[in-house]
């Protein structure tokens, strides 16, 4: 029973900051299907999720105000990390990245870009301008562990060999090294 | 039909969809995201995919019907459809979109029209298959059973716990 409780604490901590508060992700994607899937994936891993369907909406959530006369309160929703699609109309993920990194009030919020396309120039441009990472769609469970590390890089990593929840995986029977689909799932070790 | 028989039918039908390439592992990921807090998650996502796809197919038809085709616009629509089909694991639709984008790049109207036909066909097929699958799942749940995801082993992949 004690081991189970410890395991549960570990799991809850997997998407929590040092105070045990869930990591708050601002998930930005113009595609409704992707927003729903990513949102569910994050919530199931105990992240707190706020979704935005555009870069413009994301900036509003972060506190950027068009009304420059009144001072906005930046990040009052306490976003810990921004996860944004690259390809979006009007304001793409790179534009959003630059807007965030160009504002001293929010530039410390880590930004991770996701895209269905592998474009080396696009990737290096984003990384060179402050993106923490550039992940391929569709997002997998292992990617969520990276998100956690970008929010609290000094967080303890579960030791191998200790009891922990493991991923339900689809693995090729041939054991080839090719990229294989992974599925999120849990089973008690 | 008793629950066990329905579950066996579901397993075989699902395996066939993977074997024939209609679905890939991403669809199984969706099924695993479904839980008691959101028991209709897969149905909701699939329904969104249907709405999104039908809108995009209509947009594509209109865009390719123009006197002067805006291939950038066509490509943007195909890119979206490729993205959402990839996200739900509709592999054949995704692959048809990849081929479509190549012809958008070449600005080949005739080839694009053929691709649109192909994408539409693949979409109709997978829609039909998914609706059948969802109906089977709903029958299993209504009869008090559960969806036996752990019994899946398909297309050179095995479910590893």
Q: Give the structural domain span for A76.
A: 2-150
CB neighbours of residue A106 within 10 Å: 19
Give CA–CA dist B139/B119, Å, rounded: 30
User: Chain A within 8 Å of B53 (Cβ-Cβ)?
Assistant: no
Structure tokens at A18: 């040092």
**What letter would DSSP give residue B38?**
B
| Within a domain: A70 | yes
Give per-residue pLDDT as tens, B83-133: 999 999 999 999 999 999 999 999 999 999 999 999 999 999 999 999 999
| Within a domain: A20 | yes
Provide the pairing of β-strand A24-28 with A165-167: unpaired
Residue B1 vs residue A121, higher pLDDT: A121
Element holding A48 (H helix, E strand):
strand A48-52
B150 pLDDT tier (thresholds 50, 70, 90):
confident
pTM summary value:
0.80
Q: Measured between CB atoms, which of B28, B38, B86 is closest to A40? A: B38
Here the contacts of A113-122 (C-beta below 8 Å, separation 24 or greater) are A113/A84, A113/A85, A113/A86, A114/A29, A114/A83, A114/A84, A114/A85, A114/A86, A114/A139, A115/A85, A115/A86, A115/A87, A116/A87, A116/B79, A116/B82, A116/B83, A116/B86, A117/A86, A117/A87, A122/A86, A122/A94
| Within a domain: A172 | no
User: Chain A within 8 Å of B161 (Cβ-Cβ)?
Assistant: yes
Return phi, psi of residue B73, to 5°: -70, -45
Number of domains in chain A: 1
Q: Give the pLDDT score at A72.
A: 59
The lowest-confidence range among A60-74, A98-112, B66-80 is A60-74
**What letter would DSSP give residue B68?**
S
| Within a domain: A91 | yes
- Scan residues 12-31 of A and list those with Cβ closer than 8 Å to B: 31
Interface contact B86-A116, CB threshold 8 A: yes
| Within a domain: A175 | no
Interface contact A34-B84, CB threshold 8 A: yes
- Percentage of chain B exceeding pLDDT 90: 83
Q: In what order do the strands lie in the sheet with B157-160?
A: A169-172, B157-160, B153-154
Q: Give the pLDDT score at B1.
A: 75
Residues of B in contact with A185 (CB under 8 A): 32
| Within a domain: A120 | yes
| Within a domain: A183 | no
Is the per-residue pLDDT at A142 higher than 90?
no
Tell me the sheet residues that pair with A165.
A188
Q: Give the pLDDT score at A21.
A: 83
Q: Which residues contact B133 (CB under 8 A, 6 or more apart)?
A: B10, B13, B14, B17
Query: In this prediction, does ipTM exceed 0.90?
Result: no
CATH number of the domain that residue A87 is part of: 3.40.50.2300
| Within a domain: A50 | yes
């Amino acid at each position: 029973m004690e081991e189970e409780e410890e395991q549960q604490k570990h799991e809850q901590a997997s998407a929590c900051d040092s105070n045990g508060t869930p990591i708050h992700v601002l998930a930005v994607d113009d595609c409704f299907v992707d927003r729903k899937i990513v949102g569910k994936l994050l919530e199931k891993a105990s992240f707190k999720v706020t979704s935005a369907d555009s870069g413009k909406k994301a900036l509003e959530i972060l506190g950027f105000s068009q009304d420059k006369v009144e001072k906005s309160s930046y990040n009052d929703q306490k976003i810990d990390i921004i996860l944004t699609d690259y390809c979006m109309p009007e304001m793409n993920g790179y534009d959003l990245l630059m807007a965030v990194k160009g504002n001293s009030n929010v530039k410390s919020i880590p930004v991770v870009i996701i895209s269905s396309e592998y474009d080396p120039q696009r990737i290096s441009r984003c990384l060179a301008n402050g993106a923490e990472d550039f992940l391929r769609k569709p997002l997998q469970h292992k990617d969520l562990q990276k998100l956690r590390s970008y929010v609290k890089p000094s967080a303890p990593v579960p030791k191998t060999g200790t009891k922990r929840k493991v991923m339900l995986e689809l693995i090729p029977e041939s054991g080839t090294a090719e990229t294989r689909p992974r599925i999120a799932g849990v089973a008690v070790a | 039909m008793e629950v066990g028989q329905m579950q066996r039918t579901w397993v075989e039908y699902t395996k066939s969809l993977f074997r024939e390439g209609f679905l890939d592992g991403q669809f199984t990921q969706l099924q695993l995201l479904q839980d008691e807090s959101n028991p209709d998650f897969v149905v909701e996502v699939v329904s969104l995919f249907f709405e999104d796809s039908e809108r995009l197919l209509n947009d594509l038809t209109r865009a390719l019907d123009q006197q002067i085709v805006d291939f950038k616009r066509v490509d943007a629509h195909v890119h979206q459809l490729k993205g959402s089909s990839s996200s739900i694991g509709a592999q054949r639709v995704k692959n048809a979109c990849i081929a479509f984008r190549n012809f958008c790049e070449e600005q080949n109207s005739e080839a694009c029209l053929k691709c649109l036909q192909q994408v539409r066909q693949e979409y109709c097929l997978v829609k039909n298959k998914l609706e059948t699958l969802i109906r089977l799942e709903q029958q299993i749940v209504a009869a008090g059973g559960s969806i036996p995801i752990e019994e899946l082993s398909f297309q050179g992949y095995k479910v590893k716990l």
